[in-house]
Chain A
Amino acid sequence: MAIGYHQLPNATRVWQPADLRMAWELRQQYGEESCYISGGTLLRTQWESGLLVMSTNLISLDRISELQGVTWEKQSSHTGVLRIGAWTSLSACRKHPMLMEHVPTLSDACRQIAAPSIRNLGTIGGNIVSGIGDALPLLLAMDAVLIWYDGKGTVHQPIEDWLAQRRRMDASLSDHDNQRILMEVNIPLKNNKDVQDQSIMYFYKVGRREAFVPSLVTVAASCTCKKDGTLHNVRLTAAGGAAIATRLNIAEKLLEGKAPDAALFIRAHEAIWREWDAPGDVFGSSDYRKKVAANLLIAELWKLKRS
């Protein structure tokens, strides 16, 4: 055995490409020896816990102007799209006047992610592409659309499709998908002026303490209640722990167009409990997560109906 046969690991290089094209090319060039990084807050915990080894080439997305900023695009008197750049920090999302005006629930959801110092670094894009970010169930309930750069141009993908893809692949996407860059998340909004209708956009995260905590259960809902008490455009979603955000289709169908009474609420509650396949762990069983998701969502609809 020769002395010095053992080499210390190579130092990591950090690249700061100025545009999407350059970022994409770096990723092509270094392949498995590279990794995109934006805030780096999740990667850091994965390196520390040994889940991931730090790539020798970190491709930082912080200089890419296409990933930055928030814009409101009015489409008609009643509709528009809120476009949030993927590099927008969670703190910025929380405090951005356009988010506070058009999607206050999303601002509030961002407040419940991690802690202030992490929100200053962590981005909405990172929260999404992690596949387990707290914002996902809400973005799903909002019918958000993801805009990707795939080396050739931009690709629009409903977040529901992307989540389904994630689920099918068990969190390991194809190389091509792994190399795409999330540019922005678009949230379509209807500015419903009918004062008779009550609409809700609901988000609730349950952890094992009040703040700076991984989610056990996160639910979101969006729905409109007409003055006759019927519910419309019902979206119910759940996530938490290792669970990828999912729509609760059966409960949605049960409630859509109906004016629920206690009996129907109880049926919808049971439907959620049966439909959501929540993975359990030592910190919260599957049963607990399912029950809490059903409790929170139905209680919120009950509140909507009662008001």
Chain B
Amino acid sequence: MRISLSRATAGGKWHLRPDGMPKVTGSLTYLTDMKQEGMLYGLILRSPHPHAWILSIRTEAAERLPGVHAVITHRDVPGLNLFGIAMPDQPVLCEDRVRYIGDAVAAVAAESEAIAQEAIRLIEVVYEPLPVLASPEQALADHAPKLHPAGNVLHRTNYKKGSVDDAFAQCAVVIEDTYYTPRQMHGYMETEGGLFVPEEGGKLTVYAPTQHGFKDRMQLSRILAIPESDIRVVSSPIGGSFGGKDELNVQPFGALLALKSGKTVKLHYTRWESVRAGLKRHPMAITMRTGADQNGKLIAHQVRIVADTGAYATLGAPVLNFATEHAMGPYRIPHIDIEGTSVYTNNGVSGEFRGFGGNQSVFAMESQMNRLAAALHMDPWDIRQVNLRHRDDLGPLGQRIVETDGAGQVWRAIQSSPIWQRKEQAPAIRNLQESKLSMKPFKFAIPDPSAPLQSEVSAPWIRRGIGAAMTMHGSGLGFGIPDPAGGCISLNAEGKIEAAFGYEEFGQGLLATLEILVMQHFGCTTQDLHLVIGDTAKVPHSGSTTASRATSMMWQSLQKIGPALRLKLLEAASKLTAISIEQLVTGPGGIWLKEELDSVKEDSSSTTATSIFRPVITYLDIAASGIQDLVCNIEFHYPTTPDAIFGGHFLYTYAGVAVEVEVNLLTGRVKVIDQYHAVAAGPVVNPMGYLGQLEGGSSMALGFTLSEDAVMENGHYLTRNLDTYLMPTLLDTPRGFELEAIEDLPEGDIYGPRGVGEVGTVAIAPAVTAAIHAAIGRFATKLPVSPQWIIDDITFMQGGDEYD
């Protein structure tokens, strides 16, 4: 039976997030809201040129301005003047060359923002502009200037299986096209910023959002040439990240200015600066040639991916690895040939972004599937069934992966979804795919409650279409990349069960998920908990909050250490109360007699039971008893495939989505009016968080599909603020939303809940373009879908009868 996940169906599992109220009322203090008496304001001078030599930098006039306490350039970087999570190649402060308009050349700290602005104006930099490499094509051309010592190719990937050349000859149909994806911006509400506090003895405390505090600490230590132990990074709460704050942003400047001035420094980017300097999703051009036999069985698949990684590396190489691994979808294809190239250009830096390269590849792959189906006059979902991976198949790169039936589960869920069924019942939509487009009125087989004004629907220029797509999505960092996990739980001095993890709360609901998990292990309430995250001084190494891994890793950690701490608590209680362990159980407020807690649970409405029965000893009493070692730690590695295939994943989440769109042939505007998501990711820990990830992820993907693109021209952004870079509003979001969370895992599965942080963003784009195809008979290959493209070859009043 189909059960959609919602507040109503979640029932008692619906758990209000602890940070919800302070966030919606605005009372929560984000790190960028922090202030300190006497603090200085930091500002950064950035390059006006996408590519230039720096001939000279003069800061004397700025230094002399009253109220200026520090001016820094490359000369003030004591350690490594480079950063980058995977490969440090981005200068903190440029010395002799700038490679994009976000490059930093100098920074100042002053007593007011106005003084800092004036000081920035007083810094004189002489540049000699260089030719701008504004696209991967230009950067790969012969004689293109080298942006980095090794040239303009950051990374290449190559995966081959079978013999593609011979196989194409056997195909009944071959589809070939190039797909283009936009430079999407994360668009977090809180722009990059932080407070940097110099401490005694040359130490430093950093209050700045990041997805991995320990990684920031490591990078800062390298730049500042001070030991990691001298740096404390406080990194939560975060006003949104989506991958965009994993890499360093303000931290090196804040740290250098604070240490040089000896005063607390605050930095907080304006939206303009965030657009200019911040990361974006990799724009990719993906050429695919895919062949199938007459029954739709895939035979050969050739892919060439070209990614614009911008001026510096950050995570450009792993993103390309991921795009490569996901470029063949959840399908069995005997002959495969994939090559990817990630290219340096003088554009904005591309890096980590929710979906991590999968969104681009899956848009191309799923579009190919829809086009093969159209060419073979097959149902687009049937062709997927013919090719769907089996539960015990190897992973996309031939690596062993954890066995699940996720692909089949998702396929069946979409097949039986109301939207897809509606499509089956409305053959008119399917006929349109073949018939030449005319302006005849389009009537629907069944009424749709989510339909807008009836008059609009019956207008001859409004067309509807239904489409669907699916994906598999790896979680964790992949084989060969250090991917530590772990955590610590204890009974602290205040009598709270303390859970400390090195993860971050950036809005995804991590704190609520952690509360739920700990409560499940101890049967306690939120009152008994103390959660510690986002502070390198207080948390263990748990790895990065990225790659859809945090929920999974917290669950696995607690599976390993939850029972051990429970036992320690029971032993302590037994010792203090002289009641045998067998009779005791952890519960709300402390340790209970099993049978008494059971009666309270059985009859929670009975005031007698709840008033008479109490814990035999409270957590606070145990904490006060002086019994030591009520603490359990664990460190382990994220589960990886045993096969040495670099970057290959082991745990996958599967997802599919069906959408219905409405296309206005007068304006070319596309509106998604309904969506149905199916996700196979194991048990749902936190229904609100799960639903939120899918709702938010799908809105983000709608932007990717229909409106968002950070447009660059010759190395300069044309969309420099949120008035031209357009993220969806509530009115752009479909009224219909349904999510089917498929929780079944194969018997004996030991990995528990998989991550859902990214997968909801992946399959929307190809589902929407398939629906547009159903409505107007053409497949879009470039995102965001251009309204102009929609109406390009529609002549007004074509098929004029209706207008007489």
Report A's interface with B, CB cutoff 8 A.
Answer: 1, 3-4, 6, 8-9, 45, 48-49, 206-214, 217, 261-262, 265-266, 269, 282-285, 287-288, 291-292, 294-296, 298-299, 302-303
> Which residues of chain B are near A291, meaning CB under 8 Å?
791, 796
> Closest A-chain residue to B789, C-beta based?
A288
Among A48, A294, A299, the one with the most B-chain Cβ atoms within 10 Å of its Cβ is A299
A48 to B74, CA, bound (A): 29
Tally of contacts, chain A with chain B, CB under 8 A: 95
Known: A8-B115, A282-B711, A282-B713. A269 touches B796 (CB 8 A): yes
Known: A3-B64, A282-B713, A295-B796. A265 touches B803 (CB 8 A): yes
| Pair A292/B61 contact, Cβ less than 8 Å | no
Known: A210-B671, A210-B732, A262-B797. A296 touches B666 (CB 8 A): yes
- The residue that B65 contacts in the complex, of A6, A48, A265, with Cβ under 8 A, is A6
| Pair B707/A209 contact, Cβ less than 8 Å | yes
Is residue B804 within 8 Å, beta carbon to beta carbon, of the partner chain? yes
A1 to B60, CA, bound (A): 11
> Which residues of chain B are near A299, meaning CB under 8 Å?
459, 461, 666
> Which residues of chain B are near A302, meaning CB under 8 Å?
803
Known: A266-B796, A302-B803. A283 touches B724 (CB 8 A): yes
Is residue B731 within 8 Å, beta carbon to beta carbon, of the partner chain? yes
> Which residues of chain A are near B118, meaning CB under 8 Å?
6, 8-9
| Pair B721/A49 contact, Cβ less than 8 Å | yes
A6 to B803, CA, bound (A): 70
| Pair B729/A288 contact, Cβ less than 8 Å | no
| Pair B787/A288 contact, Cβ less than 8 Å | yes
> Which residues of chain B are near A296, meaning CB under 8 Å?
666-667
17 A/B residue pairs, CB under 8 Å, sorted by A: A6-B65, A48-B272, A48-B721, A49-B272, A206-B667, A209-B728, A209-B731, A210-B671, A211-B731, A212-B729, A266-B800, A288-B788, A292-B668, A295-B461, A295-B665, A295-B667, A303-B459
| Pair A262/B804 contact, Cβ less than 8 Å | yes
Residues in B779-804 with C-beta less than 8 Å from chain A: 787-788, 791, 796-797, 800, 803-804
> Closest B-chain residue to A207, C-beta based?
B726
A3 to B67, CA, bound (A): 12
> Which residues of chain B are near A294, meaning CB under 8 Å?
796
Shortest CB–CB separation between residue B81 and chain A, in angstroms?
Answer: 29
> Closest B-chain residue to A302, C-beta based?
B803
A101 to B724, CA, bound (A): 34
Is residue B122 within 8 Å, beta carbon to beta carbon, of the partner chain? yes
Enumerate the 9 nearest inter-chain pairs by beta-carbon distance, A residue then B residue, closest first.
Answer: A210-B731, A295-B666, A288-B788, A262-B803, A211-B731, A262-B800, A211-B729, A210-B732, A262-B804
A8 to B110, CA, bound (A): 13
> Which residues of chain A are near B791, meaning CB under 8 Å?
288, 291-292, 295
Known: A45-B723, A210-B731, A299-B461. A282 touches B796 (CB 8 A): no
| Pair B796/A209 contact, Cβ less than 8 Å | no
Q: Encode contact with A along B245-270: 1 for CB under 8 Å, 0 otherwise.
A: 00000000000000000000000001
Residues in B63-93 with C-beta less than 8 Å from chain A: 64-66
Among A1, A206, A208, the one with the most B-chain Cβ atoms within 10 Å of its Cβ is A208
A167 to B64, CA, bound (A): 48
Among A48, A265, A291, the one with the most B-chain Cβ atoms within 10 Å of its Cβ is A291
> Which residues of chain B are near A48, meaning CB under 8 Å?
270, 272, 721
- The residue that B788 contacts in the complex, of A8, A212, A285, A298, with Cβ under 8 A, is A285
Residues in B229-287 with C-beta less than 8 Å from chain A: 270, 272
Shortest CB–CB separation between residue B715 and chain A, in angstroms?
Answer: 15
Q: Encode contact with A along B695-727: 1 for CB under 8 Å, 0 otherwise.
A: 000000000001100010100001011011010
Is residue B669 within 8 Å, beta carbon to beta carbon, of the partner chain? yes
A210 to B122, CA, bound (A): 43
